Homo-oligomer: A and B are copies of this chain.
Amino acid sequence: MPPSSRQRRPTQPRAKATVRAIVEAGFISLSRHGVEGTTTRHIAEIAGVSVGSLYEYFANKEEIFDAMHQHVVGEVVEMVQPRIPELVRMEIRPLVAELLYRFRDLLERDDGRYLRYMSYAAYFAPRNQLEPINRLLMNLLVQYVMHHPDLTRLGNLPAMGFIMINGGIFTVIRHLTDPHPTVAFDDLVRGLGDMVGYFVEGELGKRS
């Protein structure tokens, strides 16, 4: 047996509810007290369980954050994945706008619970745990290109994808987190759309 398997997998409904309550309590505590202020006591108290119970399903506090992370990532994937077929048929700028507005809505749900989390764990979590989102968006990008044959002439797709995806995610989180933003979100969205749009147009017009 693996050494770190003192943890249990919740089987009974009651246990599943406990796990859910703990993860949710994590988000709530994070919103209320920030990262440093989030103690196991707080989480347990908010979840309405005892501290000991946390360790029944999570090896340590870190794993609770991991579970929160997976939850957020899951929500994002769930939001985009099923809409890919529809998204690949859109024009570039509306597509960018659609993704960004939906992303914002998700992050601001429940009083910015997810945003609060993101702004801490942000991206540079030691392991790159945003990987699923990256893969998802890279996948969307590839499918988009396949649906717009002219775009196959674009060079250096992986690099451009990397830039647009990472740059986009960070910029939005950074903006939403800013307590006194100097630019409006709408302008940001338009700017990012133009960025991508002009790039494509510029790159395609290069040799014609």
Which residues of A pack against B, CB within 8 Å?
34-36, 62, 118-126, 128, 156, 158-160, 162-163, 166-168, 170-171, 173-175, 177-178, 182-184, 187-188, 190-192, 194-195, 197-199, 201-203
Residue of B nearest to A169 (CB): B170
Q: Which of B123, B171, B190, B201 contacts A124 (CB 8 A)?
A: B123
Per assembly, the copies of the chain total 2
Q: A120-B124, A178-B128, A199-B194 are in contact. Are A187 and B159 (CB under 8 A)?
A: yes
Residues in B neighbouring A171, C-beta threshold 8 A = 162-163, 166-167, 170
CA of A160 to CA of B168 in the docked complex: distance in angstroms?
A: 12
Q: What residues on B are CB-neighbors of A182 within 8 Å?
A: 158, 162
Using A124-B123, A199-B199, A202-B202 as known contacts, say yes or no to A156 and B187 having CB atoms under 8 A apart: yes
Of the candidates B35, B166, B187, the one whose C-beta lies within 8 Å of that of A170 is B166
A159, B174: Cβ atoms under 8 Å?
A: no
A172 CB, min distance to chain B CBs, angstroms: 9
Q: Chain B residues near A183 (CB, 8 Å)?
A: 156, 158-159, 162
